[in-house]
Amino acid sequence: MRKAGLISILLLGGCFGHSGIRPLRPLEIPLAPYREVATTALTGSLMYEGGCLLFHDDQSGAILMPVWPVGTTFNGSAVLFHQPAKADQWVTAAQEFLMYGQPLQWPTLGAPTYQPFRQECGAYRPFFVSSVRPAN
């Protein structure tokens, strides 16, 4: 019984790491309340790397971490983009599309909800997505 307790403590400890921040769940994406203001338009495609759903900008080659409006979901191969008062839109990974929104800084995403994303995907700058449409 002691061994089982010790093993479970070690396993649970590995899940949280030293920082106390939980790891990302499979297919988890960052969500935030919808913001209509878009200051930037980027053309590129989505990629899922290292547990992070990322956007590759075709023009600059930059990789960003999209922050999606609440209600958006990801199933592993496509995002169902939710924009209030509009029909939800599918965006498939590797499909070229136009993404409108605004760049964010990690400090503006200070809520504990975003800490797993900062820990796992922090090398990439966050970008709030206001709308999407096909690139063509």
The 10s digit of each residue's pLDDT in 26-71 is 899 999 999 999 999 999 999 999 999 999 999 999 999 999 999 9
For the cut 70, the answer to whether the pLDDT of residue 2 exceeds it is: no
pLDDT at 45: 97
- Asked if 80 and 90 touch (Cβ cutoff 8 Å), the reply is yes
Q: Is the pLDDT of residue 6 over 60?
A: no
Sign of CA dihedral 97, 99, 103, 105: negative
How far is 136 from 133, CA to CA, in rounded Å?
9
**pLDDT on residue 19:** 56
Q: Print the SS3 string covering 56-117.
A: EECCCCCEEEEEEECCCEECCCEEEECCCCCCCEEEECCCCEEEEEEECCHHHHCCHHHHHH
41 in helix, strand or coil? strand
Is the per-residue pLDDT at 4 higher than 60?
no
The whole-number average pLDDT for the span 127-133 is: 97
Q: Please give the pLDDT value at position 65.
A: 98
More confident residue, 40 or 19: 40
- ∠103-65-83 over CA atoms, to 5°? 75
